[in-house]
Chains A and B, each alone.
Chain A
């Protein structure tokens, strides 16, 4: 994310979360936090506990975030925000929590005709390959709960469409033939199958290194019959360092109702 993207992201985030932008320039945002956002971001639980206990008048804070130091007045006080700043990651965390699951309907106008909407499960997540190194692989998979059809990278096909939380007029939901839970299972199974087919050279390298280091360790302690505790500690540490694992985690996802096939324009 570059600074411009960060600026746009923050603005969208605050507007979406009922926090009014009081002042803005290309290099900064001055925001009146909502009560929820103050609680989420400002780390002052005692204040909120007190206000709620005493029925006090809440006074959420204002926040100034500077996204481009060079384009703002030198005197402007605020937090510099960039890709590595803890504040941005706190906001990412909050955003991830708020958009974790959805139940959405494709926003369509049927011109008064009654139309069925078909259910799909969409799952966005990460496959992490980890040993002493790590790499992540993003996936976005859609599965039709009617036909069982699966679409890869579905997010890139739907990101320009619009969805609402209310079912559009004249539309009705088709009942899923596959239950959401089974749908999720199918996706999981599919990911496992794909992983089985991959060539996990990285894991071989890690295991070789693991064996090498353990062998060195054995030579170091070869003369000691009763191995000291450090020997077991070291051995454990080497295993933890190299032992290859694959971790699959979900970023977000949900149940989507489509009028048209997701791949259609």
Chain B
């Protein structure tokens, strides 16, 4: 077959015009220089990477080079980049984009990233790749800018969304693409509505809870590749091997363990915390409540029992966190006398608590050296309390939350780097900040989703980290926290990153959320022995 041929007549016309007017001619030297310039831009092979010749100062690791090559040669420029956190997905995406730009296959580019990362993406593309990316904030000029970086939240809003949908982008990159796992969200619909010629979806956690998440992600890239939704569920419920094979053709996933690099070590240390008598009393009071209500059949009973599980976790964090939930309960049941009596008991115990044992421990760890420390907590009330508490002891800290505006996030990160010793982040703040200048982390309380732990650790244990990483896991003795840590996370080797195959693990929970599993075990075990057995079962499924 002979493809369509297009001949550029532009030159011919101008040349004939020059001949006629006898104007605009160069000389032998300029002729040769033009020719040299033109020849230097040629790319004479279909395959292989030209980009590296253009990036002499960029350190490219072998797994990044291979990824770029695989995506371009074998995946035709449509792929999920799913390296584990900290392996440099941005570099891989930059390399791929650069390659397409050098080859002239791509000129109009849209890069959708979390708000907190817009500036960072722009800077990296400009400085590391010489790609003139421009941030779009308040008054975007979508049509005029060739390489646009913006947040998905800005892009999906009108009037931007319609403008963007009409632009013929050659290349679309979506960072933190696991946010697109739910097909009913506006984010998903928006990305789906874009015309995707070449497209990269970046995520460290392609599967967080359900296998169907991967289906939706890949259907964004290549609709139909995994069939339609119904046939997908039926076909692959059992047959994971075939599914994996298919997925591997559109997804690259590098793991630390096989990146062949010399990583800084992770030193993981469990820090057992002993409650003060008052804290213990509070915890026991909540536990009593939990046992009482979890035996009741009616929905109010179950609802309260479930909340007491949350309360238990919160008590392990701070009385402030527990208080917020308790207050909510009291408002909800203000007309139920017996329930109110029980809740008042808890409130009294809260009032009796003076010292926060965990906070004291935090203080002593921070004071061990002048190095910076990141503290992760699940609760905003704890975050506020800790900031106040550290302040009382003359330690400067900055808060970090997912809800912060982009500019505030940048600013907080900078404050932390230049002026404060401690950063206190809540869960939602875990994503999208790179803090490799810090190598100590305290998990003040633990999330019940192993993927989120890996996300947390990935903030500091990533390319660019030069020191060994210290991770302190706090767990209060004889509480649910202790159970989760000892019976589950330690068993599966979570913190050491040795399993490194979290996605495989979570595949095993196709239909049930991992967190639900854990909650159920904790809520419905009659005895500690029963819970132990159930946790054992769970960890053996995981560790298989």
Chain A residues with CB under 8 Å of chain B are 1, 9, 12-13, 16, 80, 82-86, 91-93, 95-104, 124-126, 128-130, 132-138, 155, 159, 162-165, 180-181, 184, 188, 191-192, 195-196, 200, 202-204, 207, 209, 213, 215-223, 229-230, 233-234, 236-237, 240-242, 244-255
Contact = CB atoms under 8 A, between A and B. Distances in A.
Contact of A251 (B35, B72, B77): B35
A231 to B, nearest CB: 8
Contacts of A100: 11, 14-15, 26, 34
Interface in B9-53: 10-12, 14-16, 18-19, 22, 24-47, 53
A218 B46 CA distance: 29
A246 B5 contact: yes
B219 interface: yes
A99 B222 contact: no
Nearest to B19: A180
B39 A138 contact: yes
Contact of B7 (A84, A163, A188): A188
Contact of B16 (A12, A124, A180): A180
A252 B39 CA distance: 11
A221 B192 CA distance: 13
8 closest residue pairs by CB, A with B? A84-B54, A99-B34, A220-B224, A216-B224, A251-B38, A99-B30, A92-B37, A250-B11
Given A138-B42, A252-B26, 6 more contacts: A82-B57, A138-B44, A165-B25, A219-B227, A245-B6, A252-B38
Contact of B28 (A82, A125, A162, A236): A162
Contact of B77 (A91, A132, A221): A132
A217 B56 contact: no
Contacts of A246: 3-6
Contacts of B194: 233
B7 A96 contact: no
Contact of B198 (A124, A125, A241, A250): A241
B15 A96 contact: no
A196 B2 contact: yes
B149 to A, nearest CB: 18
B56 A82 contact: yes
20 contacts: A83-B54, A83-B56, A84-B54, A102-B26, A102-B27, A125-B11, A128-B104, A129-B3, A132-B77, A132-B105, A135-B46, A165-B28, A180-B19, A188-B7, A216-B222, A220-B227, A221-B224, A237-B195, A252-B11, A253-B15
B137 interface: no
B104 A134 contact: yes
Contacts of B37: 91-93, 95-96
A238 to B, nearest CB: 8
Contacts of A229: 193
Contacts of A135: 43-46
Contacts of A134: 43, 46, 103-105
Nearest to A242: B76
Nearest to A244: B3
Given A82-B56, A249-B8, A217 B224 contact: yes
Interface of B: 1-8, 10-12, 14-16, 18-19, 22, 24-47, 53-57, 72-73, 76-78, 103-105, 130, 132, 192-198, 219, 222-225, 227-228
Contacts of A221: 223-224
Contacts of A203: 1-3
Contact of B228 (A124, A220, A242): A220
Contacts of A163: 28
Contacts of B72: 133
B223 A220 contact: yes
Given A135-B46, A217-B223, A219-B224, A130 B105 contact: yes
B31 A104 contact: yes
A99 B6 CA distance: 23
Contacts of B38: 92, 96, 124, 126, 251-252
Contacts of A188: 7
Given A96-B34, A233-B193, A213 B222 contact: yes
Nearest to B165: A233
Nearest to B12: A184
B26 A101 contact: yes
Contact of A84 (B11, B27, B76, B130): B130
A122 to B, nearest CB: 9
Most B-side CB within 10 Å, residue of A86, A96, A159, A180: A96
B198 to A, nearest CB: 7
Given A83-B54, A241-B198, A252-B31, A99 B26 contact: yes
A99 B130 contact: no
A200 B103 CA distance: 19
Nearest to A222: B228
A138 B42 CA distance: 8
Given A101-B18, A251-B34, A230 B5 contact: no
Contacts of B18: 101, 103
A218 B8 CA distance: 36
B318 to A, nearest CB: 47
Given A134-B104, A222-B228, A245-B4, A102 B46 contact: no
Nearest to A135: B46
Contacts of B40: 1, 83, 92
A155 to B, nearest CB: 7
A61 B14 CA distance: 32
A203 B103 CA distance: 17
Contacts of A165: 25, 27-28
A138 B38 CA distance: 9
A103 B1 contact: no
The interface centre, meaning the residue of A86, A91, A102, A245 with most chain B CB atoms within 10 A of its CB, is A102
B195 A84 contact: no
A220 B54 contact: no
Contacts of A92: 37-38, 40-41
Contacts of A215: 224
A83 B76 CA distance: 26
Contacts of A155: 35
Contacts of B197: 237, 240-241
